[in-house]
Every structure is written in C-alpha cells, then in structure tokens.
Homo-oligomer: A and B are copies of this chain.
Amino acid sequence: MTPSSAADQHAAPAPAGEDPLIPVGVLGARGRMGTEVVKAVNAAEDLELVAMVDAGDWLFDVANAGARVVVDFTRPDVVMDNIRFCIDHDIHCVVGTTGFDEAKLATVAEWLQPKPDVGVVIAPNFGIGAVLLMRFAQEAARFFPSTEVVELHHPNKVDAPSGTAVRTARLIAAARRAAGVPAAPDATSDSLPGARGADVEGIPVHAVRLTGLVAHQEVLMGAGGETLTLRHDSFDRASFMPGVLLAVREIGRHPGLTVGIEGFLGL
C-alpha cells in the first residue's frame, strides 16, 4: 500500500481516493508466483491482503476474512475445488494455475450459471507485454504475405516451441484464414530437416535455447520491401504482476467466465 511499486509500473496510477479497498485472498501464497502476488497486493494502494492460504491451510479462512477476489496460483489437481468453493461463496477468481482444457472450462462455466454476479478469469499468461504482442500480431497478420515466429528461452525449458509461441502462431493463422491470405511464399526445395522450423497451422515457429536467456518471443512479418517485427522480452517473474493486479481490479466488472486478460486491457 505504499504509493508506488514495481508491480504497478505497468498501469496508470490506481484511482485516487475514497474508494474502499478491495479485499484480496491469495491461494498458493507460499509458491513462487504466490509469493510475488502477496508482495504485489501488499504494495498496491487500492488493494488489501486479507488472507494467505497454502497447502495444509483452511480454505474457509478466505471466506471468513471477507475476500472479494481470490488469486489462485496453485496446482492443476486442486484448482477446480478452489474455484468451486469461491463461486459458492460469491468470491471472484483470478486464476493463473495451468492445466485447463475445454472440459474444465465448460465445468467452470456451468458452475457460474446460477451466480450471475460472480466472475472467474483463467489466464495462461498474465504478462501484459505478451498479451499485447499476440493482439498486435493478430491485427497485423492480414497485411503481410509472410509471418514467422521465433521464441528464445533458457535451456531448462522442456517444451519447444513454448505454449505462448504456439498460441501466437494459431492466432496469426486464424487471422490470415479469416482474411483469405494465401500460404506464405517459400521456394525451399533443398533443406536440412528442421531448418524451416515447426509448422503450426502453416506458420513456421523456431525455438532457440540459450544459456543466459530468460523468455523472449519475436513475430516477424514481411511484405514487399518492408518487415514489421514485434518482440517481447521477459526478464523476471515480476513482469506478470501488473497483469494479475489488473485482473483483480477488473474481475468485479466482468461476471461469468473470461479466458485471458486481453479483454480487460480496454483495447
């Protein structure tokens, strides 16, 4: 609740004033992401941390403490129970835990039906820069005959390409299809296996793994005589906090199920 904070660097200053503080509970509060969320909520002027819960703690504490919004960075095997509990107790949920498929999303939507005022947002990526990059790539896609994605990460990453890169490529591919853009020109006839990257719905995606790097993504778009490059560099887990706080502030105005924070950015 100090006047300025790293986690708030992203956003315009919170509205000054007489507005009541938003009471927030954090689930998974001792995990790597949860620890950052606790710090960020504490540092935000307009939020009040009322409950920190982790494995072994009592979930009812969150309700008893009067939380209006819960932030969940826990594990795929407990997150559904947490969401169910919050919906039942009319608490909004901001969920960063991974592992959601269509079936789980449908279940959450069903739980929300009898509770028209409760909001749940489930987001695979709270980085505002990453979300903006995806959005811009989609908007620009139809103007460029060629688009490729290069993602670069530390060498401990197990999946290649990254989930974000695959999602970005799919969004670009969909935007190209919708606009009737034909397949990108490519005269390659003599190629080493893998040279042209992974094919994600027609968009080549290249994954670089390099000691020293953290998490980086580049979308390259080309037309006659010009290229447009969109690049996002993430150096630190702290980069996700502005998106988490934004979701905490916005979720009360977005009842029902929302996937991804893009809709909260007011673009």
Given A145-B10, A214-B235, A236-B225, A208 contacting B220 (CB threshold 8 A):
yes
Given A157-B187, A186-B155, A211-B184, A127 contacting B11 (CB threshold 8 A):
no
Given A143-B128, A225-B238, A188 contacting B209 (CB threshold 8 A):
yes
Given A144-B211, A150-B150, A235-B235, A226 contacting B129 (CB threshold 8 A):
yes
Q: Which parts of A208-255 form the interface with B (CB within 8 Å)?
A: 208-214, 220-239, 241-242
Is A47's beta carbon under 8 Å from chain B? no
* Whole-angstrom distance between the Cβ of A254 and the nearest chain B Cβ: 18
Pick from B140, B182, B208: contact of A148, CB below 8 A. Answer: B208
Pick from B133, B160, B220, B230: contact of A210, CB below 8 A. Answer: B220
Q: Say yes or no: A211 contacts B143, CB within 8 Å.
A: no
- Residues of A within 8 Å of B, CB-based: how many? 88
Stretch at the interface among A21-29, A74-82, A109-117, A192-200: A192-200
Give the nearest-CB partner of A265 in chain B: B143
Is A64's beta carbon under 8 Å from chain B? no
Q: Say yes or no: A192 contacts B198, CB within 8 Å.
A: yes
Q: Say yes or no: A211 contacts B9, CB within 8 Å.
A: yes
Pick from B148, B158, B188, B231: contact of A228, CB below 8 A. Answer: B231
Given A159-B190, A194-B196, A226 contacting B222 (CB threshold 8 A):
no
What are 28 A-B pairs at a CB distance below 8 A? A10-B143, A10-B144, A11-B142, A12-B179, A12-B180, A129-B227, A130-B226, A132-B139, A132-B143, A143-B265, A144-B211, A148-B209, A150-B206, A155-B185, A156-B185, A157-B187, A158-B189, A160-B190, A160-B195, A192-B198, A206-B208, A212-B224, A213-B227, A226-B239, A229-B229, A230-B230, A231-B231, A235-B235
